[in-house]
Amino acid sequence: MKPRDPGNLPLPTERTDDGSFRLLVEGVLDYAIYLLDPAGNVVTWNSGAERFKGYAAEEIIGSHFSRFYGEEDRRDGLPARALDIALREGSFENEGWRVRKDGTRFWAHVVMDPIRGPDGTLLGFAKVTRDLTKRRAAEEQLRRSQEEFRLLVQSVTDYGIYMLDPEGNVATWNAGAQRIKGYTEEEIVGQHFSRFYTEEDRAAGAPQRALATALHEGRFENEAWRVRKDGTRFWASIVIDPVREPDGTLRGFAKVTRDITERREALLELERAREALFQSQKMEAIGQLTGGVAHDFNNLLTAVIGSLELVRKRLPPDEKNLLLIDNAMQAARRGAALTQRMLAFARRHELDPELASVAALVSGMTTLFDHTLGPSMVLDVDCPASLAPVRVDVNQLEMALLNLVVNARDAMPRGGTIAITARELAAGPASSFPLPAGRYVRLSVRDHGHGMDATTLARATEPFFTTKGVGKGTGLGLSMVHGLAEQLGGRLQLESAPGAGTTASLWIPVAGGDDVPSQQRGEPAPAPGAAPLHILAVDDDALILVNTAAMLEDLGHEVTTAYSGREALAALARLERVDLVVTDQAMPGMTGTELAAELRREHPGLPVLLATGYAGLAEGGMSDLPRLNKPFLQAHLDRAIAEVMRGRSRSS
């Protein structure tokens, strides 16, 4: 059999003499080309063999070729097998480690062919060896690099990194993909990647569009819901890139998926917090505006109500204008109730808290509810008498409850059942409704009316927002209830959905201490006849100051007026006697509480009565300062003066 051509070396032909061929073979440096006798001993040796293996011709000719093999290969009989395979199969070819003269190894590619005479007699073997150490090192480096990259990709657990074939079937699968999506490699390789999509996305052709976009635009990137093996959904960041061969042929797609559900929830929570902050800022701004307007209006009503009251007292009983004055007084009181709602929303209305039983309060209002609701409404009350007492402004709470009941009635124009319930509950960090930790009485009013959508529910407590027709509501009912609840240290909770009715719940903190709530409320006892006093009246508004002075003089007191705190101090310096100072709170230059603090330093023992509509204005330790809420009637002013003077007598 003719020997294989070693690296395109020319073999002798009829036109090539033996001398030329020998020179050709001996001149080759990149191949070791030599002959072995039938026993495997070296017969010839060329320059390439000397360069590769380090032996000169005289050192190696006659030696067995097995000395080029490593010790382990010789023990394993590889040289003998090589000769045997070459004889039986006509050729032997392999790659393996060989040993140089100096003992170093090189990676060799070996071809061995038997050489026979014309009669078929075995003459020996032609052996061609090439040193491929550098090529093998490069291949090994490439293999290690590929293995390291494979291990890198396989070890990534935060990202699902895998290949798709051109049709979208999964070709590879890493640990991150298994962790995120729940499929093992055996379960998912060969399956179409569309199984990770939601049913609605598959129906809309989203998987096909993703591959088409990656193919035509060079990349597809998106965030969307994806489905795990167990059917749960997660919010995924997806990137798909086409993978091409060097000639541009599409090999498939590289797909990277990351579970960003937590990040999405964090962003949504941040957005909700921003929205809540914006809403809080908006409500604070509206509250300040509302409180300022209501305060000014309250001052005007104080003058109107006081003047009407004095005029009515001075007219004879048969005066025809009394009816008009009474109508004006009723309108003024309505205006006062409106400003109380506005101030309650702005948390600037002065509350008159007392210990009360919610059950007794609701029970005392049932007759009023019956008259208000009409025959088409059924009232269902469930308020246990065992509820803990609460400290509230009873008038304000009654007004708030009446507002909630009227809203429930208006939500059911064809009639229905309004349920009023009260329960004592604990609130803490785990509560579904945000409240400071503690115990509360939850007073709820539920209707089965048309309900509110999310947009309406979000704006329900805004002042002047109403869904009722023109002239049927001021839009201040729920805002007043909201303000009252906040002022009491509780919350107003609204639960509603279209067609499912509405539940409005007032969460009121349970009162501390061992006080016993009064079960029935009555009017304060009339003030006993008091001796005439010299009173200094202070207010920067001339209308109110004139009206207050007229009320005091009508009660028999001597009055000196001042339009500011500084003017009041100057008046005190020149007057011989002042028994009481009645002052407004909101005055430029010096507030009423600042004036009271100055009086305590310069005139200790001089009582001060603060006439104001603001709440929570005690400054500099003036929380014990007696107060009179605006607008007030003459009787309220008289009782307040009597209480202040009684307190002075007890302390002196």
Between 59 and 466, the higher pLDDT residue: 59
> Which comes out higher in pLDDT, residue 621 or 148?
148
pLDDT at residue 576 is higher than 50: yes
The answer to whether 6-133 and 156-259 have equal CATH topology is yes
Report the pLDDT value the prediction gives residue 523, as an integer from 0 to 100: 40
Model confidence, pTM = 0.41
Instruction: Specify the fold of 271-346.
Output: Helix Hairpins (1.10.287)
Average pLDDT over residues 524-550: 79
Residues 458-481 have a mean pLDDT of 56
Query: Which has more pLDDT, 515 or 486?
Result: 486
pLDDT of residue 5: 44
CB neighbours (10 Å) of residue 338? 17
Task: Give the pLDDT score at 475.
Answer: 45
Strands (E), 228-344: 233-244, 250-259
| Percentage with pLDDT > 90 across the chain | 34
Which of 561 and 329 is assigned the larger pLDDT?
A: 561
Considering the domain 6-133 in this protein, what is its CATH number?
3.30.450.20
The average pLDDT across 517-538 equals 62
Question: Is pLDDT at 346 greater than 70 in this prediction?
Answer: no
Q: What is the CATH number of domain 156-259?
A: 3.30.450.20
- Alpha carbon 309 to chain centroid, angstroms: 56
Give me the pLDDT at residue 184, please: 92
**Sorting pLDDT into bands at 50, 70 and 90, what band is 11?**
very low
Q: Give the Cα separation of 151 and 189 in Å (integer).
A: 18
Peptide bond into 631 cis (omega under 30): yes
391: closest CA among 340, 347, 344, 351?
351
**CATH class of the domain defined by 534-651:** alpha beta
pLDDT at 525: 44
CATH code for 354-509? 3.30.565.10
Q: What is the pLDDT of residue 315?
A: 80
Question: Strand 32-36 relative to strand 122-131: parallel, antiparallel, unpaired?
Answer: antiparallel
Contacts of 618 (CB under 8 A, 6+ apart): 593, 625
**Using an 8 Å Cβ cutoff, are 259 and 180 in contact?**
yes
Q: What torsion do the CA atoms of 36, 42, 43, 48 make, to the nearest 10 degrees?
A: 100
410 contact partners, CB below 8 Å, separation of at least 6: 468, 472, 473
Q: Mean pLDDT, the chain, as a whole number?
A: 81
What does the pLDDT look like over 299-309, one tens digit per residue?
A: 777 778 878 88
* Encoded amino acid at 551, one letter: M
Per-range mean pLDDT, top range of 347-351, 390-394, 580-584: 580-584
pLDDT of residue 521: 42
Residue 473, pLDDT score? 46
Task: Give the lowest-confidence range in 230-234, 304-308, 475-479, 612-616.
Answer: 475-479
522 pLDDT band, cuts 50/70/90, is very low
Average pLDDT (347-364) is: 76
Listed by start position, the domains of the chain span: 6-133, 156-259, 271-346, 354-509, 534-651
